[in-house]
C-alpha cells in the first residue's frame, strides 16, 4: 500500500517517461508534488524503490525506471502517448550542510558552519544528511583520506563495526569505527600507526554514521 504522495510521485514519473522518455528532475518532482525541498522527493523515491515500484538505472545519475504501477504491471496499461526512449540522467544535486572539519586522527573541534556542499543525490540513501571535511590519516585503510568529504547520515546510535561521527565530551568530534568493549566504548582507527581510543559511554555521543565519501581532484 502506497501513501498518497508516493502514488502521486510514481504516477508523475510514469507519465513523464511516457511523454518524453526522460526522467523528471528533482526540481520538477518537488514542484509537481508541492514539496518544500528536494530531500522530500529523495525520501519518496527511496521508499518506492524499496517497495519495488521504481528502479534506479546503474551508472547513470538519477535515471529512473518505473518497474510497476500499483496493481498494474507496467506494459499492460494503456499505450504511452509518445515513443519511450531510454531515460536520461537529470543530474540532480542536493546541497548538504557542511559542518567544518572532522578528525580522522586525534579528535579535533567540530566546527559548525553555514556553508553547504553540493552532492549528487545518487550518493545518498534515505534519511537526513550532512557533510564534514576529513582531516588526518587515521582511516586510510578504509579508503578515507585527508581532504575527503564524509557524507554522514544523522543517527544517535550505532552497532559494532559501523563508522561513526562521535562527539567526545561534547567538545571534539572524530570519525572512527565504533565498538563496545565491556563497559567502555572503543573507537578504532584504520591505520596501524594509531591506537584505539577508549571512553566511558557518558563521554561519547553518536552524531551520525558514514554514508559515503566525496573526493575532489
Sequence-separated (6 or more) residues with CB below 8 Å from residue 63 = 23, 56, 57, 87, 88, 89, 90
Tell me the C-alpha distance between 72 and 20, whole Å: 21
Q: Output the nine-digit C-alpha cell for 174.
A: 572524530
Residue 52, CB-side half-sphere exposure with 13 Å CA sphere: 7
Please state, as a whole number, how many other Cβ atoms lie within 10 Å of the Cβ of residue 82.
Answer: 11
Element (H, E) at 217: none
State the Cα–Cα distance between residues 173 and 192, nearest whole angstrom. 21
Annotated catalytic residue within 16, 30, 138, 209: 138
Q: Which of 16, 30, 38, 176 is catalytic?
A: 176
Active site residue 73: no
Q: Is residue 30 flagged as an active site residue?
A: no
Q: Which ranges of 36-165 would DSSP assign to H, the alpha helix?
A: 38-50
Taking residue 60's Cβ as centre, other Cβ atoms within 10 Å add up to: 16
User: Would you name the residues annotated as active-site residues?
Assistant: 138, 176
Amino acid at each position: 500500500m502506497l501513501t498518497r504522495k508516493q502514488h502521486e510521485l510514481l504516477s508523475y514519473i510514469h507519465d513523464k517517461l511516457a511523454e518524453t522518455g526522460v526522467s523528471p528532475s528533482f526540481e520538477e518532482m518537488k514542484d509537481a508534488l508541492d514539496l518544500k525541498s528536494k530531500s522530500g522527493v529523495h525520501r519518496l523515491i527511496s521508499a518506492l524503490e524499496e517497495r519495488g515500484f521504481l528502479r534506479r538505472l546503474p551508472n547513470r545519475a538519477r535515471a529512473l525506471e518505473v518497474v510497476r504501477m500499483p496493481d498494474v504491471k507496467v506494459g499492460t496499461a494503456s499505450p504511452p502517448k509518445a515513443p519511450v526512449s531510454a531515460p536520461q540522467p537529470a543530474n540532480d544535486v542536493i546541497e548538504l550542510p557542511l559542518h567544518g572539519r572532522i578528525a580522522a586522527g586525534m579528535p579535533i573541534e567540530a566546527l559548525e558552519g553555514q556553508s553547504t556542499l553540493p552532492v549528487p543525490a545518487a550518493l545518498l540513501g534515505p534519511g537526513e544528511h550532512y557533510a564534514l571535511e576529513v582531516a588526518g590519516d587515521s582511516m586510510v585503510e578504509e579508503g578515507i583520506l585527508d581532504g575527503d568529504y564524509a557524507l554522514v547520515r544523522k543517527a544517535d546510535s550505532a552497532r559494532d563495526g559501523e563508522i561513526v561521527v562521535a562527539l567526545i565530551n561534547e567538545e571534539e568530534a572524530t570519525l572512527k569505527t565504533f565498538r563496545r568493549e565491556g563497559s567502555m566504548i572503543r573507537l578504532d582507527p584504520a591505520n596501524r600507526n594509531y591506537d584505539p581510543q577508549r571512553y566511558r559511554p557518558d563521554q561519547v555521543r553518536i552524531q551520525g554514521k558514514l554514508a559515503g565519501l566525496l573526493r575532489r581532484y
